[in-house]
């Protein structure tokens, strides 16, 4: 996939996640024939997240694999997140099988599930219902070799990877979301600045005057998080954000030091807040971390955000506006 396709896919992911009225790009749950499957063709199970379905469908077509694709209703959440969150489980798989004529379509009772769904799918429940379960390779592009090797996985097929192309793709979609948060934040601070007077007025003015700079910072910081994610110390996205912010935020903040010391503090605080939000939220794109891990990061983010916002509010009192 070239750079243009990567950019296109990143924006597609972002658009699909925006809850515009009437916009629903998620795939309808059901059974889909890929290629020209027969009653002996394998049954692959996946989520109804449109990006997942698109990638699986495209990969199977490239590999010239004929299969039945059972799409489970995961409320538009990807495989590993829906498995961790209880949206991709044995009960939902059985319910989807019952809603189709799958039992009459094939002459076998074997399901191939994504390996990243293993945490949420109780294979014993499926076994009691008469279905055998195999957890396929991590990467759908390895499915052809997996099938030819009689459902045996090599070590490489079991290793989770978060490649640069995928990280850039996710950075694009993530930057769109974070950018959309920028305008409500500015509007909200402007509204609150009226009754709270001078406490929020300096921050409100700084946000309004520097909205373009913030937009550029969000996209630059977001791309750096995606590109450098594996090499920044710590597993935690929160601490990755703290480290990257400690390097970049002071350099950016110096641009405002010539204006006033208060503007410098407001710049440092605002950029630090966005930096740790961007990096912490990026955890959700990584296939390495489960829900509990991500929730701990969000607790750290919440505490840090309260402290930063408090400092931004009281800065005019301490420094003087």
What CATH number does residue 152 fall under? 3.40.50.11600
Are residues 26 and 151 both part of a single domain?
Answer: yes
Contact 106, 76 (CB under 8 A): no
Selection from 95, 145, 137 nearest residue 113 by Cα: 137
Q: Could you list the residue range(s) of the whole structural domain that residue 152 is in?
A: 20-158
Residue 33 included in any domain: yes
pLDDT for res 10: 53
Are residues 151 and 35 both part of a single domain?
Answer: yes
Are residues 261 and 123 both part of a single domain?
Answer: no
pLDDT for res 5: 60
Residue 188 included in any domain: yes
Q: Residue 294: is it exposed, middle or buried by C-beta count within 10 angstroms (0-12/13-18/19+)?
A: buried
Are residues 171 and 212 both part of a single domain?
Answer: yes
Average pLDDT, 10 consecutive residues per value, the chain (321 residues): 56 52 66 92 90 83 92 83 82 91 89 87 90 90 89 83 80 82 78 67 83 91 92 91 93 80 89 92 74 82 92 82 53
Q: Which residue is it, tokens 């809603």?
A: 99
The C-alpha torsion from 23 through 113 and 170 to 240, rounded to 10°, is 130
Q: Which of 123, 139, 158 is the C-terminal boundary of a domain?
A: 158
Q: Which of 126, 158, 190 is the C-terminal boundary of a domain?
A: 158
Are residues 61 and 94 both part of a single domain?
Answer: yes
Residue 135 included in any domain: yes
* Helices of type H across the chain: 3-17, 50-62, 79-84, 90-98, 102-105, 123-128, 143-148, 164-196, 201-209, 211-228, 237-253, 261-282, 291-319
Are residues 134 and 190 both part of a single domain?
Answer: no
Instruction: Please tell me the total count of domains within the chain.
Output: 2
The C-alpha torsion from 215 through 251 and 222 to 272, rounded to 10°, is -80
Contacts (Cβ under 8 Å, ≥6 apart) of 96: 29, 30, 70, 71, 72, 73
Are residues 73 and 182 both part of a single domain?
Answer: no
Are residues 124 and 184 both part of a single domain?
Answer: no
pLDDT for res 23: 44
pLDDT for res 173: 77
pLDDT for res 42: 94
Residue 12 included in any domain: no
Residue 91 included in any domain: yes
Residue 8 included in any domain: no
Q: Which of 124, 158, 192 is the C-terminal boundary of a domain?
A: 158
Are residues 102 and 207 both part of a single domain?
Answer: no
């Amino acid at each position: 996939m070239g750079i243009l396709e990567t950019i296109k896919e990143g924006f597609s992911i972002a658009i699909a996640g925006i809850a515009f009225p009437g916009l629903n790009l998620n795939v309808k749950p059901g059974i889909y024939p890929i290629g020209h499957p027969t009653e002996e063709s394998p049954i692959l199970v996946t989520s109804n997240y449109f990006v997942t379905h698109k990638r699986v469908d495209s990969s199977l077509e490239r590999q010239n694999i004929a299969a039945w694709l059972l799409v489970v209703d995961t409320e538009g959440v990807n495989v590993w997140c829906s498995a961790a969150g209880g949206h991709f489980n044995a009960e939902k798989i059985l319910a989807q099988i019952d809603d189709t004529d799958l039992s009459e379509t094939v002459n076998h009772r074997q399901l191939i599930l994504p390996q990243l769904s293993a945490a949420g799918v109780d294979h014993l429940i499926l076994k009691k219902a008469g279905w055998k379960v195999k957890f396929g390779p991590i990467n759908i592009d390895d499915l052809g070799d997996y099938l030819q090797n009689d459902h045996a996985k090599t070590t490489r097929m079991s290793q989770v990877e978060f490649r640069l192309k995928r990280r850039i793709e996710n950075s694009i979609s993530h930057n769109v979301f974070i950018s959309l948060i920028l305008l409500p934040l500015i509007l909200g601070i402007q509204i609150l600045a009226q009754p709270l007077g001078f406490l929020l007025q300096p921050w409100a003015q700084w946000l309004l005057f520097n909205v373009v700079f913030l937009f550029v910072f969000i996209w630059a910081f977001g791309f750096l998080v995606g590109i450098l994610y594996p090499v920044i110390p710590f597993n935690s996205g929160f601490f990755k954000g703290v480290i990257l912010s400690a390097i970049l935020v002071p350099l950016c903040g110096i641009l405002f030091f010539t204006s006033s010391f208060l503007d410098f503090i407001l710049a440092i605080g605002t950029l630090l807040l966005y930096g740790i939000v961007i990096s912490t939220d990026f955890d959700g794109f990584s296939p390495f971390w489960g829900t509990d891990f991500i929730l701990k990061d969000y607790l750290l983010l919440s505490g840090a955000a309260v402290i930063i916002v408090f400092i931004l509010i009281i800065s005019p009192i301490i420094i003087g506006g």
